[in-house]
DNA sequence: CTCTTTTACGAAAACGTTTTCGGTAAAAGT
DNA sequence: ACTTTTACCGAAAACGTTTTCGTAAAAGAG
C-alpha cells in the first residue's frame, strides 16, 4: 500500500509537510499542495484510518449495542429500521459503525465496555437491551459517550419514543370506537412498558373507564407464542375483553392465530391493535390498527445527539429528545356494539 | 487507558515480555505469565486493536457491501436475515463487521475499495449490489479477499442460492396444481433473474407447456409499485394468466393490491406466488405460496468461506457453494379449474 | 570441569500517521 | 543597513503493539 512516505519521496519533501498538505494546514504553499494532491492521486493513495486513529485518538467509529431479549437481531424490523437511519446519519458525518457484542468465545474482550475500548469507539448507541444489566451500566458510566433509546442514564443523552402520549392516543381511539372492556398484553418490565401502561391507564381513567386487574397481563415483546397463550387466557375469563392491545405488531401474529383458532373473526367478533407500525401491519387483511413509531426520526436524532456529544463535549449533553409517533387507524378495531 | 507499558512497569519487566506473556508465547516462564495476567486484570487492561492491527496488518474486521437498488437497506428483510447470520458467524470467529459505503460527502474515501482500504478490512462480503458497477468490480479485483452472494467473480469464492432449481420446484408445484397460463414478473437483469427465468422456463418446457412472450415481464425487486402496474398490464392481455409469479414476497404486496382493486380474489379468481419466504408471507391470509430461501445458511456459508479465504489463502478458494431453499405451499395457488 | 543446549528475558525496530517546535530564507518594515 | 515579520518546510516524537534477534544464566552432556 502506498503511504504518505511514498508521496514524500516522489515530491522530494518531508512526510510532515505531505500530511499538512493533505489536511489543509495553512503553513504550506499553494504549489506544494497542488503537487502533493496530484502525486497522491497518481499513486492511488488512501489514508490509513488505523494510524490516524492511533495518533489522534479518535476512530470515527460508533459502537452499536443492540441485543433484544428475543435475540431477533437484525430480523427485528423496528430496530433494523432505527438502525438504518442511524447508520445513514452516521455516514453523512463521516462515521462508520461497529456492532458491539459481549462475551463471545475466543474474542479478546469480555464485556461490552471492553469491546468498545478494544475497537476504540468514539461513542456508542445503546438500544433494546436490558438496561439494568451491570455490563450495560458499566458501559454507560464509562468514559465513552453514550446515547440511549427509550431509557435514560443519569448525565447521558437519550432519545425517547413518546410512549405514554402515543399509547394514550391509541387507547383514546379505541375508547372512541365504543370499547370499554379493553385488555392490554404488555411487554417485559421496562421503562417503555411502564410508560405505555401509564398512557393506557391514563386514557381510560380520563374517560371514566375502569379496567379490571386481570385485563393487564404481562407478555413479551416480539414473541408471538407468548401472545398466543395470553390471548387464550384472556378469552377464558368470565367477562372477556372486546379489544386486546399487544406489545407490538409482531406479537400480534400470535394473538391473531389464537383468535382464528377459537373461531373469532377480527374485527367483527373482537378487536385488536398492535404497536410499531412495521411493514407487515400494512399488508394483513384488514390492516392492523397500530401506532407507527417514527423509527426514522428516532435513529436520526440518536446519531446526531451522539456525534454532537462526541464533537462538542463542552455543551450540555444531558438531554432527552422525544419523538412522537402516529396513530394508524387500520381495520382491526371495530365499532363496538353491545351483544344481544 | 492502561497499556502494556503500565503492566511492564508494575511487573518490572519489558513490554516485549508482557506482550509475549499475554499472547501465549512459549519463551516466557510460567511465573511471569501468571504475574502478568494478574496485573493486567488488576489494572483493567484491554488491548488496543488499532495498535495490534497496525503491527500485524490484520484488523479482524470484515466489510459488508450491501446496497440494494431500491435503497431499502436494513429494512430489506431477506438481506437483513442473511446479514444477521453472517454477523453471528463472524463474531464467533473473532471478527467485527463494518458497513462499506461509497462516495459519501465529506468522507476520506471516494470508492468502495478506498473505504475498505481506509478501514483495512481483512475481507469483504458483496451482496445485493450492481455487480457490473465498475466500483464493485475494482473491489473484487483488488488485493482484498471477497465473497459474493448470488454472483461469481473469476477467482473469488461465491455463495449461491439455488435459484434455478428452486424456481423450477416452485413452477412445478404450480403446474401440478393444474395451471397452464403462468406469468412471471421478474426482477432486474441480474444473474439471479437469469437463473430464475431458466428454472421457470425449464419446468414449463419439461411439462410441455409453452409460455407466451408477453407472460414474461420485467419488474423490479422489492418494489410493490412496479408489481402493481405490471399486474394490471397482465390482466389487460387478451388471455390473462391464471397464476402470476412475482420477483419476491415483498413485491407481491403491490400485485395483491392490484388484484383487490380489480375485484379479483386470491386464490379463487387468480393465483399468485412470491419468493424469499419473509415473515410477512406467513401472516397474510391466506399465507403466501413462496419459496423460502435459507437465508441463515447463506449468511453462514458466506462468512465461513470468507474467513477461510483470509486465514488460509493458500487453499483453493475459487469455489462456489450452493444453498437450496424450500418450497412453502401456502394458500395462494389454487387448484386450477377451467372456466365455464 | 568444560562445552553445548535450553530457558527466559530485553532492546529495538517497525507499522503510518499527526503535530509540535524550531529553523531558514525571503519579504517587509524602520 | 538593520531588525522584524512572514511564509514555508523539516526533524522528531509519539500513539500501543508485535516480533526478531541477541544474550546471560541455568541446565545438561561428556
Domains of chain B in start order, with CATH, are: 4-47 (1.10.260.40), 61-161+296-324 (3.40.50.2300), 163-292 (3.40.50.2300)
Tell me, what's the pLDDT at B339? 60
Would you give per-residue pLDDT tens digits along chain B (340 residues)? 899 999 999 999 999 999 999 999 999 999 999 999 999 999 999 999 999 999 999 999 999 999 878 888 899 999 999 999 999 999 999 999 999 998 777 788 889 999 999 999 999 999 999 999 999 999 999 999 999 999 999 999 999 999 999 999 999 999 999 999 999 999 999 999 999 999 999 999 999 999 999 999 999 999 999 999 999 999 999 999 999 999 999 999 999 999 999 999 999 999 999 999 998 898 888 999 999 999 999 999 999 999 999 999 888 889 999 999 999 999 999 998 876 5
* Spatial distance from the CA of A39 to the C1' of D20 (Å): 34
| 3-class SS of residue A322 | strand
Nearest CA in chain B to A87: B99
* Spatial distance from the CA of B25 to the C1' of D26 (Å): 20
Tell me, what's the pLDDT at A271? 98
Strands (DSSP E) found in B25-156: 61-65, 96-99, 123-127, 146-149
**Would you tell me the crossing angle of helices B30-43 and B4-11 to the nearest 10 degrees?**
120
C-alpha closest to that of A83 among B337, B73, B259 = B73
Tell me, what's the pLDDT at B243? 98
Tell me, what's the pLDDT at B104? 79
Tell me, what's the pLDDT at B317? 85
Residues of B in contact with A99 (CB under 8 A): 87, 91, 96-97
Chain A nearest CA to B251, separation (Å): 11
Residue pair B19/B55 in contact by the 8 Å Cβ criterion: no
The secondary structure of B214-249 as a DSSP string is GGEEE--TT-HHHHHHHHHHHHTSSS--SEEE-SSH
Nearest CA in chain A to B282: A253
**What does the alpha-carbon distance between residue A28 and residue A11 come to, in Å, rounded to a whole number?**
14
Q: Of how many residues is chain A composed?
A: 340
Residue pair A303/A89 in contact by the 8 Å Cβ criterion: yes
Tell me, what's the pLDDT at A29? 94
Tell me, what's the pLDDT at A262? 95
Percent helix, strand and coil across chain B, each rounded to 5?
A: 45, 15, 40
> What are the per-10-residue average pLDDT scores of chain A (340 residues)?
95 96 94 96 96 97 91 91 96 95 82 96 97 96 97 97 98 97 97 98 97 97 96 96 97 94 94 96 90 98 97 89 98 83
Which positions on strand D lie below 7 Å from a protein C-beta? 7-20, 22
**What does the alpha-carbon distance between residue B36 and residue B28 come to, in Å, rounded to a whole number?**
11
CB contact under 8 A, A118 and B47: yes
Cell of A332: 382491526
The secondary structure of A197-247 as a DSSP string is HHHHHHHHHHTT----GGGEEE--TT-HHHHHHHHHHHHTSSS--SEEE-S
Tell me, what's the pLDDT at A17? 97
Nearest nucleotide from residue A46 CA, by C1' atom: C16
Chain A nearest CA to B60, separation (Å): 10
Is A93 at the interface with chain B, CB within 8 A?
yes
Tell me, what's the pLDDT at A339? 60
Amino acid at each position: 500500500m502506498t503511504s504518505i512516505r511514498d508521496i514524500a519521496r516522489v515530491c522530494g519533501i518531508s512526510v510532515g509537510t505531505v500530511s499538512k498538505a493533505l489536511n489543509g494546514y495553512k503553513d504550506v504553499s499553494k504549489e506544494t499542495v497542488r503537487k502533493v494532491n496530484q502525486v497522491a492521486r497518481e499513486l492511488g493513495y488512501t489514508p490509513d484510518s488505523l494510524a490516524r486513529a492511533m495518533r489522534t485518538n479518535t476512530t470515527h467509529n460508533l459502537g452499536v449495542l443492540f441485543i433484544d431479549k428475543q435475540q431477533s437481531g437484525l430480523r427485528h424490523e423496528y430496530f433494523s429500521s432505527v438502525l438504518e437511519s442511524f447508520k445513514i446519519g452516521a455516514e453523512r458525518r463521516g462515521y462508520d459503525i461497529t456492532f458491539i457484542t459481549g462475551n463471545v468465545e475466543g474474542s479478546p474482550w469480555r464485556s461490552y465496555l471492553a469491546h468498545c475500548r478494544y475497537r476504540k469507539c468514539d461513542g456508542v448507541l445503546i438500544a433494546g437491551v436490558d438496561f439494568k444489566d451491570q455490563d450495560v451500566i458499566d458501559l454507560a458510566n464509562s468514559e465513552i459517550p453514550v446515547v440511549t433509546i427509550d431509557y435514560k442514564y443519569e448525565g447521558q443523552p437519550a432519545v425517547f419514543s413518546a410512549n405514554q402520549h402515543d399509547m394514550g392516543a391509541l387507547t383514546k381511539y379505541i375508547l372512541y370506537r365504543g370499547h370499554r372492556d379493553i385488555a392490554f398484553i404488555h411487554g417485559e418490565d421496562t421503562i417503555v412498558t411502564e410508560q405505555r401502561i401509564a398512557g393506557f391507564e391514563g386514557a381510560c381513567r380520563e374517560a371514566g373507564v375502569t379496567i379490571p386487574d386481570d385485563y393487564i397481563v404481562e407478555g413479551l415483546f416480539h414473541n408471538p407464542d407468548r401472545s398466543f397463550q395470553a390471548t387464550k387466557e384472556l378469552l377464558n375469563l368470565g367477562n372477556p375483553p372486546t379489544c386486546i392491545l399487544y406489545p407490538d405488531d409482531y406479537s400480534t401474529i400470535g394473538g391473531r392465530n389464537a383468535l382464528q383458532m377459537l373461531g373469532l373473526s377480527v374485527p367483527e367478533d373482537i378487536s385488536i391493535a398492535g404497536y410499531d407500525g412495521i411493514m407487515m401491519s400494512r399488508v394483513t387483511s384488514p390492516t392492523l390498527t397500530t401506532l407507527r413509531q417514527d423509527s426514522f426520526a428516532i435513529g436520526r436524532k440518536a446519531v446526531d445527539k451522539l456525534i454532537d456529544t462526541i464533537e462538542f463535549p463542552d455543551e450540555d449533553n444531558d438531554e432527552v429528545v422525544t419523538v412522537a409517533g402516529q396513530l394508524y387507524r387500520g381495520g382491526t378495531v371495530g365499532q363496538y356494539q353491545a351483544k344481544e
